[in-house]
Amino acid sequence: MKIFQYALFAFFANAAYGQPTQLFFGDTHVHTSYSEEAYALGRNVSGDPDTAYRWAKGLPVVHPYTGVKIQSARPLDFLVVADHAFYLGIYKNVMDGRPGFLLPACTSNTDATSFTL
């Protein structure tokens, strides 16, 4: 109901001032493989910010979870990559096994829930 009220208000406000109405379609909250949330459920993801922006532009990309090639039928007008700054990129580097991101105590133990430092 409130959305209808806001839309109605916006319509009459623009009509009263003679301003043109222009709608934009996009996504304001996208996480990529740089964010720790991408790995929270044990997913191995490959979707980086570049992949997200290419998809938003309507270009074909490989879906990070399914591995299937996808393409948006209509490009978005905007996209916000909202990766968290906390641990930015760390999980991806650890999952990729990059040197310098793994502690010796962690590499010798395959059970990630029981390692000690």
- Domain of residue 94 covers 24-99
User: Quick check: is 109 in a domain?
Assistant: no
Strand (E) positions, 41-102?
A: 61-62, 69-70, 78-81
pLDDT of residue 54: 94
Neighbours of 95 (CB within 10 A): 15
Residue 8 covered by a domain: no
In a domain, 39, yes or no: yes
Residue 115 placed within a domain: no
φ, ψ for residue 61, nearest 5 deg: -140, 165
Q: How many domains, the chain?
A: 1
Place of tokens 């760390």: 90
Q: What is the mean pLDDT of the chain?
A: 75
| pLDDT at residue number 115 | 41
Mean pLDDT of all residues in 26-33: 87
Which pLDDT does position 99 carry in this prediction?
Answer: 74
Evaluate whether residue 38 is within a structural domain: yes
- Domain assignment present for residue 50? The answer is yes
pLDDT digits (tens, 9 = 90+) for 32-84: 888 877 766 555 566 888 999 999 999 999 987 788 999 999 999 999 998 87
User: Contact, 51 vs 64, CB < 8 A?
Assistant: yes
Query: Could you tell me if residue 7 is inside a domain?
Result: no
78, 26 contact by CB (below 8 A): yes
Is residue 110 situated within a structural domain? no
pLDDT at 9: 66
Check residue 97 and give its pLDDT.
76
The per-residue pLDDT for 106 is 53
- Return phi, psi of residue 53, to 5°: -70, -35
Instruction: Take residue 65 and report the two structure tokens written for it.
Output: 């979870």
